[in-house]
Each structure stands twice: as C-alpha cells, then as structure tokens.
Amino acid sequence: MKRLPVAKRWARLGPDNPSTLFHTPRACVCLSAFVIAKRGRSVLLGRPRAHDAWPTRGGYPKSRAAELEKEGAWLLPATHLLMEESPDEAARRIVHQWAGLRGTPRFVMVQSHLRPGRIWSPRLKSNHWDLCFVYTLSPKGRPKSRPWWSEMRWIPLSDIPYMNLGRGHRDILEEAGYLQL
C-alpha cells in the first residue's frame, strides 16, 4: 500500500482540503498525544519557532507556529497522531524526535476537551472535540536542541499559572493534577 506524505496522514475527522493542513479541523475531532516531561517540581516547556518541521512533525501549520512564536507562547511536547499510529507510538515519536529527549513515556490518562467552533471561525455553530492521550516522562539527560524550538527549558510548576501557554496545554496540566484549578 502506498503511504501518503506525512502532511496528509494526520489522524483527524472533518473537512478535507488537500491544499491546506489544518492544525484543528473546523468543528471536528483531533487526536493528540502530550508528554509531560518532569524533573522534580518542574516540567519541560518549549517556545515554538516558525520552522518547516511543524506541519510534518508537529501537526501544526507553520503559520500557526509563527503566531505562537510572536505571542511568546509555551507548549508541552505534543503532536497529533498520524493515521494508523497508536498513542504510544506518537508519545515515543514526541519524546525522541520532536523534543529530543531520552526515556520511555508512561501513559497516564485520556482527556476530552470540547471547544466551541467559533474559536476558529465566528460562522461555525458546532463544537470541536479534542481527545488527548497524556503521558509522563522522567527523561534521561538533557533535551537535544531542535530547530523548531526557540528554546526548551524546565519551568517550575509555581511559575506556569503566570505564563502564556498554547491552547489546551494549560488544560492538560490542570487535569493531570500538576496545577491547582
């Protein structure tokens, strides 16, 4: 069976526009894996840099990564699942390829987030559903530098409530018990 290019294989349901990679399909379902890499009372967060790797490795259009870079947003290591990829495989891909970490991620929970479609377009009347497979990791060594991150560093949990986190990343940390609601 011929495999499609990675930019066409992100696991998603919703409108299909072959010329555009949607990070979040309009009012549909996204399947994602998040890795909470922890060291003591700190977690690893990264600041995205607009880079060609975002659509193929992070499941995010480069233009959205540029917006997050401009906003100074921070993200957990995460990505959408590829078609036929298990959440465990996605978590290992995040750890080794996307975040430059060593170690084995451990599954902890599935989170479900429902968001109004109007977040992306005022005309959308339906909701968008995120299914998030959450993993933890106690990494071995330091993260390797990756060109799609302007920086990655260990952030004390006490600092995170005051930071600009990307959409949904704060929800992941709160529901996993890392931040007080």
Q: How many CB atoms lie within 10 A of CB 112?
A: 9
- Please tell me which residue, 117 or 84, carries the higher pLDDT value: 84
Q: Per mean pLDDT, which range of 9-18, 47-56, 95-104, 152-161 is the poorest?
A: 9-18
Q: Evaluate if residue 4 carries a pLDDT over 70.
A: no
Asked if residues 46 and 77 have their Cβ atoms less than 8 Å apart, the reply is: yes
pLDDT at res. 109: 93
CA distances from 21 to 87, 88, 98, 142 (A): 20, 23, 18, 32
Is the pLDDT confidence value at 6 over 50? yes
- pLDDT tens per residue across span 105-154: 999 998 887 776 655 566 766 677 778 899 999 998 888 888 889 999 99
Q: Tokens standing for 138?
A: 């106690």
Q: Half-sphere exposure of residue 132, counting CA atoms within 13 Å on the CB side?
A: 27
Query: Which pLDDT band holds residue 14 (cuts at 50, 70, 90)?
Result: very low
Query: What's at 93, amino acid-wise?
Result: R
Q: What is the DSSP letter of 102?
A: B
**This prediction's pTM:** 0.80
* Residue 124 confidence (pLDDT): 64
pLDDT for res 54: 83
Quick one: pLDDT at residue 61?
80
Whether residue 159 is predicted with pLDDT greater than 50 in this model: the reply is yes
Helix (H, G, I), strand (E, B) or coil at 38: strand
Q: From its phi and psi, is residue 148 left (phi > 0), alpha (psi between -120 and 50) or beta?
A: alpha
Q: What is the pLDDT of residue 122?
A: 66
pLDDT of 91 > 60? The answer is: yes
Q: What residues contact 47, with CB distance under 8 A and at least 6 apart? A: 69, 72, 73, 74, 75, 149, 150, 151, 152
CATH number at 40-175: 3.90.79.10
